[in-house]
Amino acid sequence: MEKGRPQIEKEITIAKKTNSRLMKIVSDDHRFYDAIENFLLADPAREIPELGDPSAFVAKADRFRDEGDNMMARVGYETAAKIEIYNQNKQRAEECITLANEVTDPHDKHHEFQRTLLGDMDRVLGVAREYYSGLPTP
């Protein structure tokens, strides 16, 4: 067995359970499911300590944006948004998703994900709260 394979298999198992949990919460809206699935952490107890402060991601994303690397800027802003959604910080999550949307190609599926979430941030936070309620906390 190759090195790291058990960890990868564990993450795949977590992702499958995550997806089924999320589907139960938003089964009535596949468009919203597709969008929010990309903005929820699969294992926040592990990921939050590894990721750290969302403002650091925004600062890195700003530098990428200034350098013209919009894809890396999008990733940074979206990562910050994921942490802020977990933290239930509506204003900062909205700001981060808006920044991501500004650097995302309108033809990229992430652009539609961002627009969908920005359309109802109260729902985003409510779904995230319910989704995370059954998971270990950092």
pTM of the model: 0.83
Does the residue 125 lie in any domain? yes
Does the residue 38 lie in any domain? yes
How far CA 11 is from CA of 60, 85, 128, 132, in Å, comes to 26, 21, 19, 16
Domain count for the chain, please give it.
1
Measured CA to CA, the distance from residue 77 to residue 99 in angstroms comes to 6
**Which SS3 state, helix, strand or coil, does residue 103 take?**
helix
59-77 pLDDT per residue, tens: 999 999 999 999 999 999 9
**Which SS3 state, helix, strand or coil, does residue 135 take?**
coil
Does the residue 87 lie in any domain? yes
| Residue 25, domain extent | 5-133
Contact 78, 39 (CB under 8 A): yes
Does the residue 43 lie in any domain? yes
74-132 pLDDT per residue, tens: 999 999 999 999 999 999 999 999 999 999 999 999 999 999 999 999 999 999 999 99
C-alpha angle 125-100-115 in degrees, rounded to nearest 5: 55
Does the residue 26 lie in any domain? yes
